Amino acid sequence: MRKSVLLCCCVVLAAGILLAQKTHVPKIDPQRLHDTVKYLSSDELEGRGTGQKGGDAAANWIAEQFKSHGLKPAGANGSYFQDVPMVGVRALPTTTFTFVPASGTPVELKNLDDYVTSNETQTESADVDAPIVFVGYGITSPENKWDDYKGYDLRGKVALLFVSEPESNDPNFFKGKALTYNGRWTYKFEETARRGAVGTLIIHRTDLASYPWEVVRNSWGGERSYLRLEGTPKLQAASWIQLEVARKLVAMGGLNLDNLYKQAQSRDFKPIELPVRLKAHVVSSIRPFASRNVLAMVEGSDTDHRRAEAVLYTAHYDHFGIDPARAKGDQIYHGAVDNGTGCGILLELARVWAGTKPAPPRSILFAAVTGEEQGLLGSDYLGKHLDQLPVQPILDLNYDALAPLGIPEEVEVSGAERTTFYSEVEKTAKEFGLAIKPDAHPEAGHYYRSDHFSLGRVGIPAFSISEGLKFKGHDLAWGEAQSKDYVENHYHKPADAFVESWDFTGDAKLAEFGYALGQAAATRSGEIKWLPGDEFEKAQMKLTSMDIDGAALFAGHPALLPVHVEPIAYPPLARQARLTGATQIKVFVAEDGSVERTDTITGHPLLLQALVDAVREWKFQPGDPREFILRCEFVVSGINTNDSRASTILVEPLYLRVAVHPGFIYETQSVARVSDNENGGGKGRKFRGPDRCYLIAVIPSSYFGQTPAVKLLTLEKPRRS
Ligand SMILES: [Zn+2]
């Protein structure tokens, strides 16, 4: 009975969507796309290498284009540029790696054949002499109730681990076959460094990495670029080792690698110290340089928010530059498809958005980013320095390498289905006659390999727009053959060069598609969110909370000198349910200044969780073990606004108040009765995901005593009729 009420609501909502007006989309000019791609991939720009003359010239040219289209600068000091400080690090052949067993003969490894390494701490020389610890996959993931470390102290040690993540066919456990960020090698280095490791050895297995050793060897054999250090913990020896080398290593400790692999599949896995040390002498050449992101904006009409919001479009402009070591005539990596095409689309979007009258409520921000081919460096810097932007991005739409092959009948938007924006994407795709193509190889983790990821990981809903394989006038096999030819003969090769006969009408169509999505995002009333339980949901919560003044919070408590005070987020569910209340916890600080544990004194579990999540990341100056009691009130105040950022007010030392606007929930929100027997009655708010319907149930105080309870229910998505 009650379920039918829900069904009715969803049908009404679906009808509302169908009646909505079709977006007016201005014409994107294929000829302009053609001209931009031709110029950016010409010899004159020398392959747009990061830190090279051609890359800098491309950035200047893009800024001029933004200016000529009438966009405002959105970079530093009224310019179109955001400086991105970088460092090139190359491991030199004098580097040595030796496995030293507790007893027996040391084994010296051969650079590039047996291992590759890079000194992320960016010093010319580093010496490692530390015990090797097998840590399984090296993953800590509360969403998946997984922790390979079990409190193990990795400080001063070398981690040995497998690339990828625990095997799964269950979509609710590490997303089934699809790779989550926990499986990427970048995560392994970040997590082990965060835990204080000095070096990490990733065991390369072709099937798990989805690419052969040659790829590792080629991309790690030369110079690697990094963002200049900003206090983030880094490894002195960030390394990969060959599978057979790993086999020998664990055998030196009397263990079997296949058995270790099996053990690593279990939730009960605990780190295993090997009776073997890594003795490494890492010698590197260090080359600091600066590169730039190019930023421009079209101002929105609504500046009422504390900080105006914006839809962000990104495309990387860099490619591999010039390689004088190659044969003459083949030295320039033109990067016509990758990513001349994305830049062409970005500039066309900039042009038509600048001419859009009236401007939408939210601003439109454009970022042509650098260093993508070096590991998403420009976008990484952008994502980590959102405070440098004049507006707050609420959605990132990225374009990366769209081969100009004619009119696509499919579109790829992987990652969009993980956000509350997906219904809009589906609707727009339909209007454009585009079928949404699912990710053909979710196990390869493509989501984590392009610039949108840098924004996604800091909490901004983000995805790339690209074409699928089915083009108008051709069968699927033709599209597949084109893609295969590109990957084998052009991708990341000098042969990714401009072809005069290319047909840019399809790229224009996908730019128009992106315009329509941008229009929807820039005008909608609700927020765009990562769906509940998504790996980036937490990051989005952090993004929407404000800094706390640590000195004021601990004023009068000389034993508590704060080093880092993580902001406290207002839990989205609590905000949506208008759940408020006081919390109190007791915090125990260890000698090294980290928070050892917290004890609950009082408060609603949902609010306490948010408080404890933040406080666990607080850091103090080292000293004797200390403890203190922290009070924190959660309040909802003010008028409805889309701004979900929580402001933290210091009431007095050790007493905080976290305040948030009640906000709209989602544009598809509605209120429904919750079944009595399931939830004790009360009202709920509902929103939809791609294949699920969520209901946030608010259970009245009479049922649970003092505080209203909140519960998130997942319901089957009703069929739209
Ligand atoms: Zn590329």
Distance 471 CA to ligand 1 centre (A): 23
Indicate whether 343 pLDDT > 60. yes
Distance 544 CA to ligand 1 centre (A): 32
Distance 111 CA to ligand 1 centre (A): 26
3-state secondary structure of 631: strand
pLDDT in tens, 73-92: 999 999 999 999 999 998 99
Distance 636 CA to ligand 1 centre (A): 46
Distance 320 CA to ligand 1 centre (A): 8
Looking at residue 223, its pLDDT comes to: 81
Distance 531 CA to ligand 1 centre (A): 29
Distance 226 CA to ligand 1 centre (A): 17
361-365 average pLDDT score: 94
190-197 average pLDDT score: 94
Distance 542 CA to ligand 1 centre (A): 30
Phi, psi of 260 (to 5 degrees): -65, -40
Alpha carbon distance 462, 698 (integer Å): 30
Distance 218 CA to ligand 1 centre (A): 15
Distance 492 CA to ligand 1 centre (A): 6
Distance 286 CA to ligand 1 centre (A): 24
Sheet holding 466-467, edge to edge: 435-436, 410-412, 466-467
pTM of the model as a whole: 0.76
Distance 145 CA to ligand 1 centre (A): 34
DSSP string, 199-232: EEEEEE-HHHHTS-HHHHHHHHHS-EEEEPP-S-
Distance 487 CA to ligand 1 centre (A): 11
Sheet holding 692-699, edge to edge: 671-673, 683-688, 692-699, 709-716
Alpha carbon distance 617, 606 (integer Å): 18
Distance 38 CA to ligand 1 centre (A): 17
Phi-psi label, residue 258: left if phi above 0, alpha if psi -120 to 50, beta otherwise = alpha
- pLDDT tier at 649 (50, 70, 90 boundaries)? confident
Distance 577 CA to ligand 1 centre (A): 44
pLDDT in tens, 31-72: 999 999 999 999 999 999 998 999 999 999 999 999 999 999
Distance 390 CA to ligand 1 centre (A): 29
Phi, psi of 505 (to 5 degrees): -65, -30
Distance 311 CA to ligand 1 centre (A): 24
Least confident of 258-272, 282-296, 302-316, 676-690: 676-690
Indicate whether 313 pLDDT > 90. yes
Distance 678 CA to ligand 1 centre (A): 51
Enter the DSSP assignment of 320.
-
Looking at residue 5, its pLDDT comes to: 33
Enter the DSSP assignment of 69.
T
Distance 406 CA to ligand 1 centre (A): 21
Distance 85 CA to ligand 1 centre (A): 21
Least confident of 365-369, 407-411, 492-496: 492-496
**Residue 393 C-beta-side C-alpha neighbours within 13 Å:** 34
Distance 447 CA to ligand 1 centre (A): 14
168-195 average pLDDT score: 89
Looking at per-residue pLDDT, the higher value among 687 and 186 belongs to: 186
Owner of token pair 């049908």: 11
Distance 719 CA to ligand 1 centre (A): 40
Distance 514 CA to ligand 1 centre (A): 21
Contact yes or no for 11/720 (Cβ under 8 A): yes
Looking at residue 546, its pLDDT comes to: 64
- pLDDT tier at 643 (50, 70, 90 boundaries)? low
Distance 232 CA to ligand 1 centre (A): 26
- pLDDT tier at 705 (50, 70, 90 boundaries)? very low
Distance 319 CA to ligand 1 centre (A): 7
Distance 555 CA to ligand 1 centre (A): 50
Q: In the predicted model, what is the mean pLDDT of the chain? A: 85
In one letter, which amino acid is 314? Answer: T
Distance 464 CA to ligand 1 centre (A): 14
Distance 489 CA to ligand 1 centre (A): 14
Among the listed residues 416, 512, 414, the one whose alpha carbon sits nearest the alpha carbon of residue 22: 512
Radius of gyration of the chain (CA): 26
Distance 338 CA to ligand 1 centre (A): 5
Contact yes or no for 373/439 (Cβ under 8 A): no
Distance 466 CA to ligand 1 centre (A): 14
Distance 235 CA to ligand 1 centre (A): 26
346-363 average pLDDT score: 95
Q: What angle do CA 52, 57, 60 make, to 5 degrees?
A: 130
Alpha carbon distance 619, 460 (integer Å): 26
- pLDDT tier at 22 (50, 70, 90 boundaries)? low
- pLDDT tier at 662 (50, 70, 90 boundaries)? low
Distance 65 CA to ligand 1 centre (A): 23
Tokens of 432: 């454009």
pLDDT in tens, 538-556: 888 777 666 678 888 998 8
Distance 91 CA to ligand 1 centre (A): 23
Indicate whether 442 pLDDT > 60. yes
Distance 318 CA to ligand 1 centre (A): 9
pLDDT in tens, 562-604: 888 888 888 877 877 778 899 999 999 999 899 999 999 999 9
Distance 376 CA to ligand 1 centre (A): 10
Looking at residue 208, its pLDDT comes to: 77
Q: What number of residues does the chain have?
A: 721
Looking at residue 639, its pLDDT comes to: 54
Contact yes or no for 315/36 (Cβ under 8 A): no
User: Could you tell me which residues come within 8 angstroms of residue 108 by beta carbon, excluding any fewer than 6 positions away?
Assistant: 96, 97, 98
Looking at residue 307, its pLDDT comes to: 59
